[in-house]
Structure 1
């Protein structure tokens, strides 16, 4: 009886929370190293405090004057901890930068947060609310924005937390390493029903995920819907290849360097596309007049994400002639 209880306790005991992604593994390793280093430093300080408190207590017969300088000792206790904490900083910075360098084979998932739910859409057009299905061992790229207040996409088991800010896109990527269901929270107070803004991430085998993704999906893909909106909004009248209007070409736009009228240059990303649709006079392309009207109030966040997916689909393979 006691043996079974001890076995269950040992099986349930975890020094750290459940880890279910490559991000979590890296974060846990860094956290453990930092915990050990800080613990060793704290222990050393405590031992030194106790030692000096006992040795130099009142009434003890010890020399208290003519303290000699030990340059090597001073340099040692200053530079060695400094070097160790610089290593920790570099380690953490490398992990942070890696989190935002999306692998080229990552599956895109578009996320819109609103009071008080998570709306998610996959590349083939399949939609989810408060659920995210992903395959095991496959990188997944989340492109996220908010429709109203600031929200925060938080999956503790993945060690992922990213704020979603109205008016801009944020993103990150992860690779799930464990099958199962994992809790999804909003970690930023967003109104009266904030505590009810819950969801789950379901990690499936790749075969099961492919069947789930293709089941009951009779709607167009996200890029196809984006192309339809591209034509409905009249974008093709100016930006199509055969248009007589002098407007920038959009094929393969995302990831391309764009030179602006004010002399600046930037790499076109999702935020640039969003601003070009809603605030067309913000970043005017060099050689073009600022005559494009704003589509603010005419397109939803889902429409903008579909347009972005369409523009991504126009990218040509490396080395292909333009």
Structure 2
């Protein structure tokens, strides 16, 4: 009977969420039954006109009862908080081997792109029993990514990146909804998540139109939009190198530090004067309005693909453990190779002009 009242359970997170929901429901029902039962007993036992001995209890009994009841309530609250919070916090930490998919929400559709370049609109193909990490942002207003069968719900915000992950446990097609009112056609902002067997997913992936993956798209944008003209080691402009900074601490002005993650890269592109790297002048122009969310995601993927080992330049698609020996990498970004010629790339266009 309980299963009929709940949506289909199709992910690892759904099992944990249902377990918490069921536990809280049972605990609430027991507490409600206890309170209602005591009210009925007292209302009947001590009703007006009854001949009940109303001698008060000794003070010590009353005090011990109150202390015990308060301690039990606090223990129950702390346990429930720990139980629910531990499951929810785990939803923010994707496994390191998770498949990465970038999602851009806009009125009124979901645009998804896998790291290998496969693109979809209002559909998301994933393999079963494999963790999937979603990196999401919005091009206009606040949306909310919701898959009932996965018990997955995460707000998608403009000018910010939010992350979530799931692991589907059964194949099939599941509803994807927007649960944040986002305008006239909010109710039509629908999609579906298609969970496939690994072999079927591999065939589907290979059948998609060929194109550059996100990292190579970002590499191209890095040069086309003028980034390489400043961040190349031999550039005439004194700007920090981006090789090997991913998820490493970056020293900032004012004796502060920031972690070079997706949020930091995005803020540095759109608000370069906000967190200036120590020892560098705040001369970088803002790219707000010049780069859309998909392009920012691509540049971020490129910087991430360069690795997190300082001074090491990696070929895109190679493991990060590869050493940086001059001449052993055939396809590098000129902006990241020490001593490479500086690209004569024009400065970013003025806001309002076409790039």
TM-score class normalised by the smaller sequence: over 0.9
Alignment match of 1:98 (pick from 87, 90, 100): 90
CA deviation after TM superposition for structure 1 residue 260, in Å:
0.7
Task: Say what the alpha-carbon RMSD is for the aligned residues.
Answer: 1.7
Q: Bigger shift: 85-94 or 69-78?
A: 69-78
The number of residues matched between the two structures is 312
Alignment match of 2:24 (pick from 11, 34, 37): 34
Does 2:303 match 1:311?
yes
Does 2:181 match 1:189?
yes
Q: Structure 1 residues 140 and 36 mapped into 2: Cα distance closer, same or farther (>3 Å)?
A: same
Partner of 1:276: 268
CA deviation after TM superposition for structure 1 residue 50, in Å:
0.9
Partner of 1:177: 169
Partner of 1:248: 240
Structure 1 residues not aligned, in runs of 5+: 1-9
Partner of 1:23: 13
1:212 & 1:188 partners in 2: Cα distance? 31
CA deviation after TM superposition for structure 1 residue 246, in Å:
2.2
1:183 & 1:292 partners in 2: Cα distance? 43
Does 2:285 match 1:267?
no
Alignment match of 1:55 (pick from 34, 45, 48): 45
2:166 & 2:229 partners in 1: Cα distance? 39
1:95 & 1:81 partners in 2: Cα distance? 22
Structure 2 residues not aligned, in runs of 5+: 310-318, 325-355
CA deviation after TM superposition for structure 1 residue 242, in Å:
4.1
Does 2:186 match 1:224?
no
1:150 & 1:122 partners in 2: Cα distance? 22
So what's the TM-score if we normalise by structure 1? 0.92
2:278 & 2:64 partners in 1: Cα distance? 60
1:252 & 1:106 partners in 2: Cα distance? 21
Alignment match of 2:149 (pick from 149, 154, 157): 157
Partner of 1:133: 125
SS in structure 2 of the partner of residue 294 of structure 1: coil
CA deviation after TM superposition for structure 1 residue 252, in Å:
2.9
- 4+ runs of 1 displaced by more than 3 Å? 241-245, 316-322
So what's the TM-score if we normalise by structure 2? 0.84
Does 2:107 match 1:112?
no
